[in-house]
């Protein structure tokens, strides 16, 4: 059996030796028998109880290092040694053994050597008592107006203090269980000084002296715990031993006697022990290093972590690491057991890593989108950067597909385990810039043809090709059936490609008018006018402002509005145009009137 298991058994044994045997139990203490913790750490002793009775007191032993040894679940601050803790929970049983402790039955269930004032007279005498709800009616000059402790409106025992300490104030005979602990308590209220001192006796033997020194007019509870020993019946009496007739007045209420019983429990807090050891074997050049981590003491290791002093980490009992550069590195081996405790060992590792044998070849300039071979020599293991560009970043001769001019760096390890690096630069030829004319969107009629021109490359191909008379020409003729965007790809002398596109607007019996113009005198889009297409005959072109005022009107095809009214430039904004004319249906002599309206935007 290993030392760790022996230690667990030893501490489990410590929990139970010396524990008193109890004939009864008042509840169950729920507490793990063994709790694992870390040296110098804190751990909760997670105790709960299951009982029909309320908890009266809690006592932990040893108390050193506990946040509070009188609560069920304290926090223990551990040192360097495992510790066995015991807990004693004292329960207060619910059965009340005092017959008339709240005095709501009047002068009943107890005896007193004092004179009983059955009727309030307003004047009391020493060695007398009453049972009532208001002390002031029994002595209007010295007793205060207070409520009882139980409800504030019920009865209490009202006492005018003694001048004879042999008379008992209150006494009751109670049946008890032998060899059992009991809690005796009562609430006292001081009327005036001197303070009453009540001696408690059990079977005639003084056991406790209570000093009713609480603030006058306030209820204060007083308690005493005792063992019944071999008795099965006891007499509990209270005597006022402050012999003074000028004060020494008080009230009693809620006199109680309840049985207590102890329940025992315990736990052992076992601290994790470690003995981490790290060993390493360095290859030639000490670039690749294999590390071994072990522990001969702790058999509950769940995690082994390494930090190499170069920003990298790893996990496992046997690990390999490649250091990035020459130098001395502090390598830390950290163990974690299943209880979350950690320990570590440290070693210094000297690294020499460089070699000049690694060479890279393949500097070149290519067209975008072209594959290019790279080459490295002088090593047995290679790693290229920009791995996302390569078919395999670990090959000596990978194939690259760069998306931009790129420096490819290769790190190689030679036969001696040393590292070196070199790089290859792959540049891009600029792609050809294609220019299509016309440089504005042509407008044509349905089933009409448009000739396009392109320049900037040696070879061309147009798409969609079925609509061209020759889709590989630099000046093809295209016949669109609807408005269509056409694309051209051109290839230059280096094999690099460029693209451009043009949209041909195809109309049927209509007009074309831009949606905006800029009358700023720069020679571009300074005027706006409708252009009739196909079989549309224009008769009138008018422009209105937003309030319906006529800004411009003409019946002549080609006349354009220059953005002025009565010679004054009009403000930037949206204007309404109206075009009137006729549509001529194919094969018909008659003309069909047509009105076309829309918006144009004047920009400045």
Question: Please, what is the average pLDDT of the chain?
Answer: 87
Compute the average pLDDT of residues 50-68. Answer: 94
Per-residue pLDDT, 588: 58
Encoded tokens for 193: 């000084």
How far apart (Å, rounded) are the C-alpha atoms in residues 459 and 455?
A: 10
Compute the average pLDDT of residues 240-255. Answer: 86
Compute the average pLDDT of residues 284-288. Answer: 67
Name all domains of the chain by residue range, CATH numbers in brackets: 3-92 (2.60.40), 115-260 (2.60.120.260), 274-351 (2.60.40.10), 359-428 (2.60.40), 435-507 (2.60.40.10), 513-602 (2.60.40)
Judged against a pLDDT cut of 90, whether residue 447 lies above it is answered with: no
Question: Sign (positive/negative) of CA torsion 583, 585, 586, 589?
Answer: negative
Which is higher by pLDDT, 596 or 277? Answer: 596
> 116-154, pLDDT tens digit by residue?
998 887 667 788 899 999 998 888 778 889 999 999 999
Per-residue pLDDT, 415: 82
What 3-state class would DSSP assign to 11? helix
Burial class (CB in 10 A: 0-12, 13-18, 19+), 132: buried
Residue for token pair 């411009």:
552
Per-residue pLDDT, 589: 47
b vs e for 24-63, b when ≥16 Cβ sit within 10 Å of the residue's Cβ? eebbebebeeebbbbbeeebebebebebebebbebebeee
Per-residue pLDDT, 33: 94
Judged against a pLDDT cut of 60, whether residue 541 lies above it is answered with: yes
8-state DSSP, 195: P
Per-residue pLDDT, 297: 86
Compute the average pLDDT of residues 300-328. Answer: 88
Judged against a pLDDT cut of 90, whether residue 394 lies above it is answered with: yes
Per-residue pLDDT, 385: 94
Per-residue pLDDT, 140: 76
> 89-107, pLDDT tens digit by residue?
999 999 999 999 999 999 9
Nearest to 148 by CA among 82, 80, 217: 217
Question: Which residues, 6+ apart, have CB-to-CB distance to 350 below 8 Å?
Answer: 286, 327, 328, 329
How far apart (Å, rounded) are the C-alpha atoms in residues 581 and 538?
A: 4
Compute the average pLDDT of residues 332-343. Answer: 90
CA angle, 63 then 67 then 68, to 5° = 65
| pLDDT confidence tier of residue 112, bands split at 50, 70 and 90 | very high
Per-residue pLDDT, 508: 65
Whether the full predicted model's pTM is greater than 0.75, yes or no, is: no
| pLDDT confidence tier of residue 584, bands split at 50, 70 and 90 | low
Compute the average pLDDT of residues 512-524. Answer: 91
Judged against a pLDDT cut of 60, whether residue 386 lies above it is answered with: yes
Which is higher by pLDDT, 201 or 126? Answer: 201
How far apart (Å, rounded) are the C-alpha atoms in residues 552 and 368?
A: 53
| pLDDT confidence tier of residue 511, bands split at 50, 70 and 90 | confident
> 204-215, pLDDT tens digit by residue?
999 999 999 878
């Amino acid at each position: 059996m290993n030392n760790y298991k022996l230690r667990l058994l030893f501490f489990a044994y410590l929990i139970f030796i010396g524990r008193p045997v109890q004939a009864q139990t008042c509840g169950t203490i729920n507490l793990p028998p063994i709790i694992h913790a870390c040296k110098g750490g804190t751990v909760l002793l997670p105790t709960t109880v299951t009982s029909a009775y309320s908890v009266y007191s809690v006592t932990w032993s040893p108390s050193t290092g506990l946040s509070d040894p009188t609560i069920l679940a304290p926090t223990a601050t551990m040192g360097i040694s495992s510790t066995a803790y015991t807990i004693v929970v004292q329960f207060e049983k619910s059965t009340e053994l005092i017959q008339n402790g709240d005095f709501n039955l009047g002068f009943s269930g107890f005896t007193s050597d004092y004179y009983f004032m059955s009727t309030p007279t307003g004047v009391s005498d020493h060695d007398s008592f009453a049972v009532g709800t208001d002390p002031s009616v029994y002595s209007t000059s010295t007793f205060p107006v207070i409520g009882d402790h139980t409800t504030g409106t019920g009865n209490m025992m009202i006492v005018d203090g003694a001048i004879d300490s042999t008379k008992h104030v209150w006494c009751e005979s109670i049946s008890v269980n032998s060899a059992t602990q009991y809690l005796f308590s009562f609430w006292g209220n001081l009327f005036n000084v001197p303070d009453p001192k009540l001696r408690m006796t059990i079977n005639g033997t003084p056991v406790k002296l209570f000093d009713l020194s609480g603030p006058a007019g306030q209820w204060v509870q007083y308690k005493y715990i005792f063992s019944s020993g071999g008795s099965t019946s006891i007499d509990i009496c209270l005597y006022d031993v402050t012999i003074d007739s000028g004060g020494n007045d008080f009230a009693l209420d809620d006199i109680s006697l309840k049985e207590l019983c102890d329940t025992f429990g315990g736990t052992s807090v076992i601290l994790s022990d470690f003995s981490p050891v790290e060993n390493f074997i360095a290859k030639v050049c000490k670039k690749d290093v294999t590390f071994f981590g072990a522990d001969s003491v702790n058999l509950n290791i769940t995690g082994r972590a390494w930090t190499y002093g170069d920003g990298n980490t790893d996990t496992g009992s046997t690990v390999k690491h490649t250091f990035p550069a020459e130098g001395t590195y502090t390598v830390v081996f950290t163990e974690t057991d299943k209880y979350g405790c950690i320990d570590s060992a440290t070693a210094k590792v000297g690294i020499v890593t460089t070699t000049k044998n690694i060479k890279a070849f393949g500097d070149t300039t290519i067209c975008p989108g072209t594959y290019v071979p790279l080459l490295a020599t002088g090593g047995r293991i290679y790693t290229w950067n920009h791995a996302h560009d390569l078919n395999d970043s670990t090959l000596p001769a990978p194939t690259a597909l760069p998306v931009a001019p790129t420096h490819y760096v290769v790190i190689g390890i030679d036969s001696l385990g040393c590292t070196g690096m070199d790089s290859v630069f792959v540049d891009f030829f600029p792609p050809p810039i294609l220019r299509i004319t016309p440089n504005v969107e042509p407008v044509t009629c349905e089933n009409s043809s448009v000739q396009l021109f392109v320049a900037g490359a040696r070879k061309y191909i147009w798409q969609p090709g079925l609509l061209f008379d020759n889709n590989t020409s630099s000046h093809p003729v295209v016949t669109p059936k609807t408005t269509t965007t056409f694309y051209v790809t051109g290839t230059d002398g280096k094999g690099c490609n460029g693209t451009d596109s043009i949209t041909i607007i195809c109309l049927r019996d209509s007009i074309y008018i831009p949606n905006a113009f800029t009358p700023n005198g720069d020679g571009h889009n300074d005027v706006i006018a409708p252009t009739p297409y196909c079989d549309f005959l224009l008769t009138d072109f008018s422009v209105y402002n937003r309030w319906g005022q006529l800004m411009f009107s003409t019946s002549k095809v080609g006349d354009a509005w220059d953005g002025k009214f009565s010679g004054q430039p009009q403000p930037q904004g949206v204007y309404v145009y109206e075009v009137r004319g006729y549509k001529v249906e194919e094969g018909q002599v008659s003309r069909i009137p047509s009105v076309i309206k829309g918006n144009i935007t004047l920009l400045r």
